[in-house]
Structure 1
Amino acid sequence: MGKITVGVLALQGGVVEHISLLQKAAPYISSPDTSKSDFDFDFIQVRTKNELAACDALIIPGGESTTMSIVAQRLGLLDPLRDFVKVQGKPVWGTCAGLVMLAEEASATKKGGQELVGGLDVRVLRNRYGTQIQSFVADLRLPFLGETDTTPFRGVFIRAPVVEEIISPSAEAVTPGDGKKEPVEVMGVYRKPSEGGEDDDIVAVRQRNVFGTSFHPELTSDIRIHVWWLKQVLDAVGEQKTGQGAGVQVDLPV
């Protein structure tokens, strides 16, 4: 399969933190034939259209989504990002502000709204839990990390958004040919103790090639989500290049 280039959008936010965890996660993915490996990772910062075009997958990090949107627009990156996500269908992961950027709709935006990349048929509510000083860490159960996993993931929430509604895809967003689009899959929820556990906030979702989390895995030392996501990247790249998944093995760290 050769080199797999994974970019982190480097306009603002937790760029180096994501790259650090990606570098730590990569060794946990191996070929079934341990005597050789037919892929190699290259992790880069992305600030230009040419750098984006070189990527097989992309992370949009946490930060401030309005600032990211403005900078991306000034650099002429918004349309290339939309093409990367919606037309080319390459794997993309957004954390916190990145989730906002990847939503089709956003509530509680600043006056005049903001440009979004889209790709997830959801409406997000920005700053669900308040201001910076109301940031918190919470144990999350994330079944996609493995049915036998009993170690909670420590989710860091900083001015975090949540998915307040899963919306119907627009006519132009459906998959060509069959007129259908894969539904949004809820990957993780947070049950706020003070609310009596009656309502679960959706804090992780996936739809086809797009994955989003409300919290900041890059601000922890826990690499499990980065390992899991790199596996999704390799499967997607293998499908595109060879017509089948990469066939890699993953041993999630404990």
Structure 2
Amino acid sequence: MTKTRTITVGVLALQGGVVEHLNLLRRATAHVQSPDSLRFTFAEVRTAPQLAQCDALIIPGGESTTMAIVARRLGLLDPLREFVKVQHKAVWGTCAGLVMLAEEAVATKQGGQEQIGGLDVRVLRNRYGTQMQSFVANLDLAFLGEGEEPFRAVFIRAPVVEEVISDGGSGSQKQAGKVEVLGVCQVPGQQTEGEGKGDIVAVRQGNVFGTSFHPELTDDVRIHVWWLGQVADALRHGRLAVDGV
């Protein structure tokens, strides 16, 4: 008899699009293709003990400075760094989440902000201006599969990856592999030349995935389906310990 494996996916619930992510995650489970007997459960995360119960985590969009301050006050910053950079558990950051997962950020508020880190990139906050300059763009995301329709991505005060700053850290917090660019957005109102030119808005490095935009603010579950599939694949290859397996 095949043993059912349960994967607990948390959404950091300090601020931002928590409910929206949870709704799409639940819908996405119906589309995850896996040869194993897997069951996903989802939880809001506000404390270190709740985080410790998770096998994977989403850090949602919101306001990155506020999220970092609240995480510090709740004693969550160091456990989050441990989760991402030492335990190497799967994590996905959207918009503000991408800012927090970057090793460096520019255009921060006065005094800067604390990072979780995990992605060897420097991000530029608020690349496209204020909330009034929000927009939707069609992105060709090859990782979703050949022949897939463009993804209608929602950008709200979005950051972009300004530069890849290294190919992995050092010591116990070394990241696995190089930074992969998974999505590029043509800058609104600006001509770019050559394939792949534009702003980097989706990246992955080992267990860490980041997007500048907000998939949770659409009805399109494809990125959530893909990411859950990546989490399940990590389990199958022994990169994620679940239920003591």
Please report the TM-score for the alignment, with normalisation by the length of structure 1: 0.88
2:181 corresponding residue in structure 1? 186
Query: Which consecutive aligned stretches of 4+ in structure 1 deviate over 2 angstroms post-superposition?
Result: 169-175, 237-243
Task: Call closer, same or farther: CA 1:235–1:116 in 2, change over 3 Å.
Answer: same
1:105 corresponding residue in structure 2? 104
Please, which runs of 5 or more residues in structure 1 have no aligned partner?
A: 244-254
Task: Call closer, same or farther: CA 1:140–1:81 in 2, change over 3 Å.
Answer: same
CA distance in 1, matches of 2:186, 2:108: 24
What is the deviation of 1:29? Answer: 1.6
2:10 corresponding residue in structure 1? 7
What is the deviation of 1:92? Answer: 0.3
Contact 2:141–2:150 (CA under 8 A) maintained in structure 1: yes
1:88-129 per-position Cα deviation (integer Å, ceiling 9, x unaligned): 000000000000000000000111110000000000000000
What is the deviation of 1:238? Answer: 2.5
CA distance in 2, matches of 1:157, 1:52: 28
1:24 corresponding residue in structure 2? 27
Task: Call closer, same or farther: CA 1:241–1:188 in 2, change over 3 Å.
Answer: closer
Identity %: 68
Q: Aligned letter for 2:8?
A: T
Contact 2:33–2:229 (CA under 8 A) maintained in structure 1: no
Matched, 1:142 2:141: yes
SS at match of 2:62: coil
Contact 1:56–1:237 (CA under 8 A) maintained in structure 2: no
Match of 1:156 among 146, 154, 157: 154
CA distance in 2, matches of 1:135, 1:242: 37
Contact 2:122–2:163 (CA under 8 A) maintained in structure 1: yes
Map 1:1-254 → 2, pairs under 5 A: 2-32=5-35, 38-149=37-148, 151-168=149-166, 169-172=168-171, 175=174, 181-198=176-193, 199-240=197-238
| CA root-mean-square deviation | 1.7
What is the deviation of 1:30? Answer: 3.8
What is the deviation of 1:148? Answer: 1.9
Please report the TM-score for the alignment, with normalisation by the length of structure 2: 0.91
SS at match of 2:68: helix
Task: Call closer, same or farther: CA 1:219–1:242 in 2, change over 3 Å.
Answer: closer
CA distance in 1, matches of 2:113, 2:122: 13
What is the deviation of 1:170? Answer: 3.9
Task: Call closer, same or farther: CA 1:70–1:145 in 2, change over 3 Å.
Answer: same
CA distance in 2, matches of 1:137, 1:173: 39
Q: Aligned letter for 2:72?
A: Q
Contact 1:103–1:118 (CA under 8 A) maintained in structure 2: yes
CA distance in 2, matches of 1:242, 1:107: 32
Q: Aligned letter for 1:59?
A: I
Count matched residues: 234
Contact 1:174–1:181 (CA under 8 A) maintained in structure 2: no
